[in-house]
Amino acid sequence: LKLRGGSTIIDLDDNTEVEEEEGDEEEERRKIQQQKQEEYEKLSKYRTEQQILYQLRSTYLSEMLALRGVPLPTITSVSTADGDKPPEKVDWDCAMCTDEDPKSCLYSFDAEPNTKVVAPLGTDQWISLSALNRLRRTDPTKVEPMW
């Protein structure tokens, strides 16, 4: 509607139509977002199932080839029951330096609390792991004569 003088009158019914269209657009966006989420979940589930099947096929193939004499690791060859395998002997003693149990170090006098320290078995010549690694990187010739 136009009045004399060129001004216009806004029809209230048009505003409600605009608001309804915006509500419809928002609802449409939510539906699209929900569809995308569902597609993503389906794809993720499919990929996970395919990865599991791939691993099963690979394990089965390894077992069958091992039965035919091909030197491949099998499930039984890499599995050990608890207690069947004795612990490996090491020549280093590892400890944690604490306030209650401080450790005197060769290289940096006393280790700070909550620092991991190592020493050859049967000695009390401790060194912190960080100091040992730093020394090994900067000057490896100093590490060997320490013990």
8 Å CB contact between 104 and 124: yes
β-pairing verdict for 127-128 and 104-105: unpaired
pLDDT value at residue 68: 94
Around Cβ 136, how many Cβ atoms within 10 Å?
Answer: 12
Task: List, as one string, the DSSP characters of 94-123.
Answer: EEEE-SSS--EETTTEEPPTTEEEEEETT-
Q: Is 89 in contact with 100 (CB distance < 8 Å)?
A: no
Residue pair 77/65 in contact (Cβ under 8 Å)? The answer is: no
> Model confidence at 135, in pLDDT bands (50, 70, 90)?
confident
Q: What is the pLDDT of residues 7-40, one digit of tens each?
A: 555 555 555 565 667 778 889 999 999 999 999 9
For the residues 40-56, what does the mean pLDDT come to?
96
Q: What is the pLDDT of residue 122?
A: 80
